Chain A
Amino acid sequence: MVRTYVLLLWTWTRAAAAYPASFTLMILLGFVTAGLDVAVILVVFANTTTLAGFTREEVLFLYGAASLSFTVCDTFVGNIDRVSQHIKAGTLDTFLIRPVGAWMQLTADRFNANRAGRIVQAALVLGYACAALHLDWRRAWMIPVMVITGMVIFSALWTLAGAMQFVLTDAPELANAFTYGTHQLSQYPLSIYARDLVKGVTYVLPLAFVNWQPGLYVLGRDDPFGTPEFMRFLGPAAALVLALLAALAWRQGLRHYRSTGS
């Protein structure tokens, strides 16, 4: 499984190497655009000392954690959003005649390491925040758990969005709202949002478990919305449930594939 996936990634990397200028430019561009996100946070804190009760370093911590999960998924799973193009063009056929799962082939589809710049940027921000925050190190074990949980949640969301494409072939933007939109949302402390929205991203789409709930534990903070302490530890379970749902939806989606004429 892993060998096949790595092999596919390597194949696409070699294909992308046919266009070296584009590769370098995209790495730089990724680094710069991701840097803009941080610039926005810094600008906000140039005018205030706290944002919805959180300090600059705490916000950077939450941002870094969500971004690291997201950018890794964007690189290794996000290619699946091209499924709508493959469905429309009928080129999905060629994936389905191979002895390897379509999900694996699609997540590796036209893999391009040019998103690496953004992963590095997110890791740097998270590293800086952790160093600057004087964290309680007995709680630091939650940081890797949180990042991995986040990756599973974002991957599942991407897969769900991909599965939706089999039904709504004409709306890849809707799926993007789902993936990139949720990332935007999770970049800030959820306490800046309305209570109902936060309920939605806790109990319906479990985005709150990407960085918010486990992040509160690492930071040693109470939830401004007053959720009980045990919620901080539900991330992995929520991620697992969502991943299961996504897998089922993906299977159903493939069975509904209609291909194109001829």
Chain B
Amino acid sequence: MFERRLYHHIDWVLIGAVLAICAVGLAMIYSTTGGAGRVYWTQVYALGLGLIAMAIAVSIDYRSLADKSHWLYFAMMILLVGVLFFGSVRGGSRRWIELGVFNLQPSEFAKATLALMLAKMLGEERRPALTNNDLLIAAGLTAVPFLIIARQPDLGTAITLLPILFVIAYVAGMPMKYIYAMLIVAVLAAPIGYKFALKDYQRERISTFLDPSSDPKGAGYQQIQARITVGSGGMMGKGFMGGTQGQLRFLPVAHNDFIFSVLAEEQGLLGVLVALGLYFFVIMRALDAARLAKDRLGAYLVLGVLASFTFQVLYNITMSAGLAPVKGLTLPLMSYGGSSLIATLAGFGLILNVRMRRFTN
């Protein structure tokens, strides 16, 4: 099924940029964990597995995948529910399936699955204009994994599903009035939600975000330390493995959620601009794949995958500068985390897949 000529249409530039980001991530993990330790090698292996996953995602025609998307979706839901019952517990939440050497986090793979499902549903050729009914079904399909993952509880990952729905619905022609309506509801509901829907610790995070110094030792600590980490980097940074905030653990989970802060500290504004440029380039290049896609299905699939990726990148980097409430969201491609890396690379495999098959029938 992998025709030889397709090989010439693979977007090597995008792969190169993605791998460059992975390399930066590996270097930062190496730096913050003090050398080639267990964490570093785990990430290296995950990168290898991720490339295999990417190759698989490229090789199977996305249209065949889309045809099976409801089965994939169904299987994923079962897996997620299974995690709720049989997953291993760490840090108070049940997200992982133990696979001996590896712990798999199925929710990471739920993103691509949902993107495929929604793209298939809303992007099928021959379908008439988007109806409210379609939107409701799409919302329902999103809500199921959202609620399951939120139950783990892992609100951070659950929230990354929402951009998939919104972006696909948006490009699929969701009327603008709905978008405006949603914005208005969001603005009005925010204070009510703050008061009633959020748990105490969540409220605390938001209020300390608005005034971190109100609790410099508790919830505001990470945020203050994030700003200090970034700000003290300056233009040129403190040098590879030369950071103090990350190296001396003033910033918690530096190799994970706050890896970009460490990059800013050690490589300075120059490193930040290079990394931001790489991400921006990757996103723009991937958007090109959507524009060039042969069909709506391909375009929506690319956008769905890209939506959660872009959201996560923007949110994580904002948070690592201490400009957003601290949330357990990793930086895709850079943060430590095998499942995330493999799932993200598989997602990029789908994007490459769509672009590669833009001339095929």
- Does chain A bind chain B? no
